[in-house]
Amino acid sequence: MSIVTAVSLRKGHHFSKTNSLSIRLLKGLGVDGDAHMGETVKHRSRVAKDPTQPNLRQVHLIHEELFDELAPKNFIVRPGEMGENVTTRGINLLALPAGTRLHLGETALVEVTGLRNPCIQIDRFQQGLMAATLDKGADGNLIRKAGVMSIVLADGDVRPGDAVRVELPAEPHRPLQPV
């Protein structure tokens, strides 16, 4: 079973987010009260390049299994600390195709837009963590493990313990790319 294990938000632009009992997703905007909420980009580096770009990073999701993978490498990471809004368990987020819809709780719906592209802020949080969230596939291509980004298609409240239901897009499936 795929579930939400934690939800997080933060008003200001900080790397980590604060865990909450619930978050409210707003269609076309993101997480109510979060610094990255909006129709256009809110990440400072992207705003500097072009503030009119659509915000494809309204909701950041990370699979809690990543924290399990990082622990033996001496990285202790808890939900929200890598800046995600929704922490999940039991779903391979990185293997989902672009356009996958995730039903979170009773009514919230997000569409996966792409991979989170890890940046230097991860190393400022814990030195060496950026490299630990990157890998090379058998084909030599870079694997980004720091979660997926999404947009909100339907309003709803999301809480720890909520079910996550996956709705795959029509084929052919497109692999996730960094957004």
Task: Tell me the three-class secondary structure of 123-134, residue by residue.
Answer: HHHCCCHHHHCE
Q: Considering the entire predicted model, what is its pTM?
A: 0.96
Q: What is the pLDDT of residue 119?
A: 82
Q: What is the pLDDT of residue 104?
A: 98
Q: What is the pLDDT of residue 47?
A: 82
Q: For the domain with range 3-167, which CATH number is right: 1.20.120.400, 3.40.50.2000, 2.70.98.60, 2.40.33.20? A: 2.40.33.20
Q: Where are the domains of the chain?
A: 3-167
Q: What are the start-end ranges of the E strands in the chain?
A: 3-9, 18-20, 23-26, 30-31, 59-63, 86-89, 101-104, 108-115, 134-136, 142-144, 148-154, 156-158, 164-167
Residue 149 CB contacts under 8 Å (≥ 6 apart), including other chains: 56, 57, 58, 59, 60, 61, 112, 113, 114, 115, 116, 179
Q: What is the pLDDT of residue 45?
A: 80
Q: Which residues of the chain have pLDDT under 70?
A: none
Q: What is the pLDDT of residue 151?
A: 98
- What is the C-alpha separation between 111 and 115, in angstroms, rounded? 12
- For the chain, how many residues are written? 179
Q: What is the pLDDT of residue 43?
A: 79
Residue 21 CB contacts under 8 Å (≥ 6 apart), including other chains: 7, 159, 160
Q: What is the pLDDT of residue 156?
A: 98
